[in-house]
Amino acid sequence: MRPAVAARPVIALSHRRGYAPSMEQDHPLMREVFPDLIAELTALLEDEGERELAICAWDLRLIDECGCGDDFCQSVRTADRPRGKPYGPGHRCVLLSPSEGMLLLDVVDGRIMYVEILDRPPMQRRGAQS
């Protein structure tokens, strides 16, 4: 008979390295707001051999828009991060090859934190009037 093992709590990635947990479930899923973008991201990540990130892309939340004001930028934050601080260890950039513009992901410990969306046609929110 095996000895009982105490259950260990699961620690979400957002709790690591100072990434404060937020009420992310209060933010909309990207797939509900920008379904075409998520479909494209998923396909491009699969093409790049980034299967785990492709799976994660399905559950991305729209935390905030970039807010830089540049007309060529539609980038979005998909997770909280400390303001004014670098991502630190575990950070990598994933450059994708879309048919138009640029898509670049900031990934920390396997979590997509930011999606840079540059030089692309304006994204249409699902349900938005044209």
- Range 11-32 average pLDDT: 60
Evaluate if residue 101 carries a pLDDT over 60: yes
Tally the domains of the chain: 1
Identify whether 130 is part of a domain. no
For the chain, percent of residues with pLDDT exceeding 70: 78
Q: Helices H, strands E: what count in the chain?
A: 3, 5
Q: Which residues contact 24 (CB under 8 A, 6 or more apart)?
A: 14, 61, 63, 79, 80
Examine residue 39 and state whether it is found in any structural domain, yes or no.
Answer: yes
Greatest alpha-carbon pair distance for the chain in Å reads 65
Between 16 and 52, the more confident residue is 52
- On whether residue 127 sits in a domain, the answer given is no
Specify burial of residue 104 (Cβ count, 10 A radius: 0-12, 13-18, 19+): middle
Does 11 reside within a domain? no
Q: Would the pLDDT of 5 be above 70?
A: no
Kindly indicate the confidence band of residue 12, based on its pLDDT and cuts at 50, 70 and 90: very low
- Quick check: is 45 in a domain? yes
